[in-house]
Amino acid sequence: MSQEHSIENILQIQDPNIKCVSVDNSDPKKQVIHAKLTYPIKCCPLCGQTKVVRFGTNLINVRMPPIKERPVILKLLKQRYLCKRGQHTFSAETSLVKPHCQISEDTKQMIILQLTKDRSITDIAEELNVSPVAVNRVIDSLGVQTKTALLTLPTTLCFDEFRSTGHQMSFIAIDGDSHRLVSVLPNRLNRSIKNYFEGNYSLAERKKVKQVVIDFNAQYQSVIHIIFPEAKIIADNFHLVQMGLQALNQTRVQLMHRFTQNSREYRVLKHHWRLFLKTYSDLNQHKPQWFAHLKNWFTQEQLVWQGLELDSTFQHTYFVAHSLVDALRNRDYLKFIQTLNRADKVSPQLETTIRTYRKYLPLIKNMMANNYSNGPLEGINRKIKQIKRTAYGYKNWSHFYTRIRIEFMIKIKKRKPIRK
């Protein structure tokens, strides 16, 4: 095999009309490869006439994927042709690079592959020897390909919001079963949500939606029945559990501040706060462990009781909060109602949470009757936050929205290391 063929194989050049001429390794910062593109032509592709002759060459610098972290520049000498009948010229074309473009298609595919990962545009551009503007052009080209298909609506939707460009809150909806993106809107106004669903889906299609999972945002409740006449509103189990544990944690903090920072009571409540949020049945009751802040051996159950015995209100709050949380996690509506009815002598923080539970009791009852929650949606929001954090924020909503769709809709199968 000749050197030219070896270079073509390394660069994965499939076009037989491209012939590599030489390699220039004089510059340690880059690798330059000289090649020529030419082929016989029978007729003009513009007018169909047969009187076509060669008419010089045109040199372009094609940016290829790097080799051993060195940028590769393919100096491609493209043959030009002249149509004698129409008196117009045109250049030879190849699948390696589009006309009037100097970034190879292989490099663009690598850009797309890198965009599916948690990487900034600047890092991708630096690694592949292109500009950040070129990466943004690839993102724009993917905008249409990754656009959500407005065909049908699922039977279950999950609604939430996230902070997007600037300090604005944006709306997001996913399929409750498949967890695929349904819509992402630049704001969370009822008017925008209503216009989106009514403008893209018929009434018959919107009636197919039977359940909508939300947190306790009253704004969504007022518009859901208008958009989806047949839908039941389901409280999000994720937020319900979070509210109960937050109330318990706030009670612990308030009790902790009654003691001095050097006291034993303060250390019990401060350094081992996670144990108070752990379900009582999951606490280790038999195997003692060394707690350095207390300089003593305790089981986890014994240490929790060290804190519960400090205040009777905190003790009642602890058991009532965990009873409510366990009922929510197990979707036991009878136990939940019984706990609400005997919830007395609890902290003001938990009393506020209990009033919220009573206010939205029909939504909680709907939640108990199925297994849906906004947990998957919270995971998606966490990934969206990571996209913003990696890029140090976005100003352009279009680029941000397209980047979200790229990372969630373009699935790349992960490969294991090749060891043989």
Domain match, 190 and 222 both: yes
Mean pLDDT of 246-267: 91
Lowest mean pLDDT among 52-61, 144-153, 187-196, 272-281: 144-153
**What is the domain count for the chain?**
4
Around Cβ 116, how many Cβ atoms within 10 Å?
15
User: Is 78 in a helix, a strand, or coil?
Assistant: strand
Domain match, 122 and 208 both: no
Domain match, 213 and 277 both: no
Question: What is the percent of the chain with per-residue pLDDT over 90, rounded to a whole number?
Answer: 26
Domain match, 116 and 96 both: no
Looking at residue 251, what is its pLDDT? 94
**CA neighbor of 317 nearest in space, from 243, 252, 239:** 252
Question: What is the percent of the chain with per-residue pLDDT over 70, rounded to a whole number?
Answer: 93
Looking at residue 19, what is its pLDDT? 85
Looking at residue 143, what is its pLDDT? 75
Domain match, 13 and 42 both: yes
**CA neighbor of 158 nearest in space, from 211, 230, 105:** 211
Q: What is the dihedral of CA 126, 128, 133, 138, to 10 degrees?
A: -140
Domain match, 360 and 211 both: no
Residue with tokens 């009751």: 285
Domain match, 113 and 140 both: yes
Q: Which CATH number belongs to the domain containing residue 207 in this structure? A: 3.30.420.10
Residue 6, pLDDT > 70, answer no
For 263, the domain range is 238-368
Looking at residue 150, what is its pLDDT? 65
Domain match, 265 and 362 both: yes
Residues 6+ apart with CB under 8 A from 420: none
Determine the Cα–Cα distance for residues 76 and 96; give it in Å rounded to an integer. Answer: 11
Q: Is residue 415 part of a domain?
A: no
pLDDT tens digits, 397-408 = 888 888 888 888
Q: Is residue 281 part of a domain?
A: yes
Q: Is residue 94 part of a domain?
A: yes
Q: Which two tokens stand for residue 207?
A: 């009636």
Q: Is residue 269 part of a domain?
A: yes
Looking at residue 156, what is its pLDDT? 93
Q: Is residue 419 part of a domain?
A: no
pLDDT tens digits, 24-51 = 888 888 888 888 888 888 888 777 777 8
Q: Which two tokens stand for residue 16?
A: 């037989």
Looking at residue 213, what is its pLDDT? 92
Q: Which two tokens stand for residue 260?
A: 């001095």
User: Hey, what long-range contacts does 127-135 have (CB within 8 A, 24 or more apart)?
Assistant: 127/66, 128/63, 128/65, 128/66, 129/63, 129/66, 129/71, 129/72, 130/63, 130/103, 134/103, 135/111
Under the banding of pLDDT at 50, 70 and 90, the label for residue 1 is: very low
What DSSP letter does each residue of 344-367 carry, written as one string? Answer: -S--HHHHHHHHHHHHTHHHHHHH
Write phi, then psi, for 172 (nearest 5 degrees): -140, 140
Domain match, 244 and 357 both: yes
Alpha-helical segments (H) within 13-131: 105-115, 121-127
Q: Is residue 172 part of a domain?
A: yes
pLDDT tens digits, 373-418 = 888 898 899 999 998 888 888 888 888 888 888 888 776 666 666 6
Residue 71, pLDDT > 60, answer yes
pLDDT tens digits, 58-68 = 888 989 888 87
Whether pTM > 0.95 for this model: the answer is no
pLDDT tens digits, 315-346 = 999 999 999 999 999 999 999 999 998 888 88
Domain match, 170 and 228 both: yes
Q: Is residue 230 part of a domain?
A: yes
Looking at residue 21, what is its pLDDT? 82
Task: Give the DSSP letter of residue 259.
Answer: S
Q: Is residue 151 part of a domain?
A: no
What DSSP letter does each residue of 387-398 carry, written as one string? Answer: HHHHHT--S-HH
Residue 146, pLDDT > 70, answer no
Lowest mean pLDDT among 107-116, 139-148, 191-200: 139-148
Domain match, 96 and 64 both: yes
Domain match, 216 and 243 both: no
Write phi, then psi, for 24 (nearest 5 degrees): -115, 110
